[in-house]
Amino acid sequence: MTTTLEEKGYKEEKVLIEVERPSASSPPTKLTLEQANKLANGKPFELIKGRMVFKMPDYSHAQTQSLLCIELGVYLKRAPIGRVLTELTHRFWPDNAHEGRMPDLSIILNEHLELGERYPTRAPDIAVEIISCDDAWTKLFEKAKLYFEKGSREVWLVDPYEKGVLVLTPTARRWEWNTLSSPELLPGLQIELSQIFAWPAAPSPAQ
């Protein structure tokens, strides 16, 4: 005698599987700069084709960025021909809401300041990138090329591991190992590289 599943108390149930759709609160797959800012919660990032790429500096990167900014700040207070700004977002494509770039330091001369704009649309006169241990040189050169296309006249690639600075212009490049200068853009600037790659030693306690 054959007993059916229903006679044993089992009943067929239909399981409906619905494709999960993003809720109204889910972030869009291609962000605008304004949307990305809200999601970033103050963390530095670049927006590339609507995708957030967070910047995660290591200790050497952060130390070098701070010390170089101090040296540039002292110079520009003494010779107020421009400003140095940390991690300023640039909107090189003002009609494209899905792109934004952020040099580690932006040196902008007075004649190119865009004081009425939240995000400058011109690249800084000198764009500074501090190298982290996982940075690829090809990517750094691609970024330098973009800066030149958008108005930069120099790009500094600062290497805290080799303790040197690669100074790029649209037509040349040179390594600096002792003193960093920019005679054409920052007359009189002389930064001893030993001052930006190591924090000054603490004074010995008084005996």
Report the pLDDT value the prediction gives residue 13, as an integer from 0 to 100. 39
Q: What is the mean pLDDT of the chain?
A: 84
C-alpha count within 13 angstroms, C-beta hemisphere, residue 154: 22
Q: How far apart are CA 206 and CA 191, in angstroms?
A: 30
pLDDT band at 93 (very low <50, low <70, confident <90, very high): confident
How many CB atoms lie under 10 A from the CB of residue 19?
Answer: 4
In terms of C-beta density within 10 A (0-12 exposed, 13-18 middle, 19 or more buried), how is residue 145 classed?
Answer: middle
Prediction pTM value: 0.79
Return the higher-pLDDT residue of 160 and 56.
160
Report the pLDDT value the prediction gives residue 26, as an integer from 0 to 100. 55
Residue position matching structure tokens 């909107």: 91
Question: Would the CA dihedral through 108, 143, 43, 57 be positive or negative?
Answer: negative
Domain regions of the chain by residue span: 57-195
Report the pLDDT value the prediction gives residue 20, as an integer from 0 to 100. 36
- Domain 57-195 top-level CATH class: alpha beta
Which residue type is seen at 148? F
Return the higher-pLDDT residue of 105 and 11.
105
DSSP structure string for 35-103: HHHHHHTT--EEEETTEEEE----HHHHHHHHHHHHHHHHHHHHS-SEEEEES--B-S-TT-TT-BB--
pLDDT band at 10 (very low <50, low <70, confident <90, very high): very low
